[in-house]
Homo-oligomer: A and B are copies of this chain.
Amino acid sequence: MQSAARDHALICRGCWDQMHMPIPIRGPLAVPFRVCGITRSKMNPNICTICERSFRYVKKQRHISANATILFADIRGYTHLSERMDAVTLSDIVSAFQDQCAQAIWAHDGIVNKQMGDGLMAIFNFPIKNERHAAAAITAAIDIQRRCASVLEDMKAHGAAFPIDALGVGVGVHTGQVEIGEFSTFRSDFTAIGGTVNLTARLESQAAGGEILVSDEAAAQAQDLVAPAATRLLVLKGIEHPVQAHVLAPSH
């Protein structure tokens, strides 16, 4: 039931969680809103374009501080293969990766905030609130690894024209305070910035194919998911102190 409700919210869950405003996004009540240009967001089909663009106006402030969990994922071995692979295969791989990640992220109330070629950044706990946002992000990360491993297996079974084993997905998950807002005068979609976001990106860059690196801060909020994991001490570019990461490898 909960899952079905999540898949087909009738009102925008972001506007409701952030402002207690009921904005219809499905069903007949959504029609007049659609005419005014308010539709379902591409970041998550259960939030609307008000969430995407208009917090600045609605909230009368340029940015919002929030406790959130950030997830970065990208394809390991992609740069190397992109020099050798034909355009169609490359675009099929990127599309499959982006679609599988989005399904996993949406299923756990996250939003796909940025896509950049073979990588993406997701936010959990904004605009859709979720007290267990670290656990949601880690579960989504596990789901991403399983889905992508399965797609790669399929490609292998169908005789892909490139060495599948060289490909894998690396994920980083970290929890902390982020600044959410529109950080340029000419774009109107929000993003998150700050030390938490950067540390997540750095964590992800250290994850091998198939691995999820979870920070202490995120792990502390989701001990049931992370407890048996091995840890690794990482020296990260631009980060003063070594960072301990919990290493999950769900598809191995």
Whether A16 sits at the interface, judged by CB under 8 Å, is no
Whether A251 sits at the interface, judged by CB under 8 Å, is no
Q: Mark A25-37, 1 if CB is under 8 A from B, else 0.
A: 0000000000001
Once the chains bind, are B95 and A183 in contact (CB under 8 Å)? Answer: yes
User: Which of A4-12, A110-118, A210-218 binds B?
Assistant: A110-118
Q: State how many angstroms separate the Cβ of A195 from the closest Cβ of chain B.
A: 4
| Copies of this chain in its oligomeric complex | 2
User: Which of A86-94, A143-151, A227-235 binds B?
Assistant: A86-94
Whether A165 sits at the interface, judged by CB under 8 Å, is no
Q: State how many angstroms separate the Cβ of A233 from the closest Cβ of chain B.
A: 18
Bound form: Cα–Cα A117–B194 in Å:
8
Bound form: Cα–Cα A102–B199 in Å:
26
Once the chains bind, are A87 and B179 in contact (CB under 8 Å)? Answer: yes
Bound form: Cα–Cα A45–B202 in Å:
33
Residue among A77, A186, A239 with most chain B CB within 10 A: A186
Question: A residues bordering B, Cβ < 8 Å?
Answer: 37, 42, 45, 62-63, 65, 77-80, 82-83, 87, 90-91, 94-95, 98-99, 102, 114-118, 121, 179, 181, 183-188, 191-195, 197-199, 202, 237-240
22 A-B pairs within 8 Å (CB atoms) are namely A42-B186, A77-B238, A79-B239, A80-B238, A80-B240, A82-B194, A82-B198, A87-B179, A87-B194, A90-B193, A91-B179, A94-B183, A94-B184, A94-B193, A99-B184, A99-B185, A102-B184, A114-B114, A115-B184, A116-B116, A117-B197, A117-B198
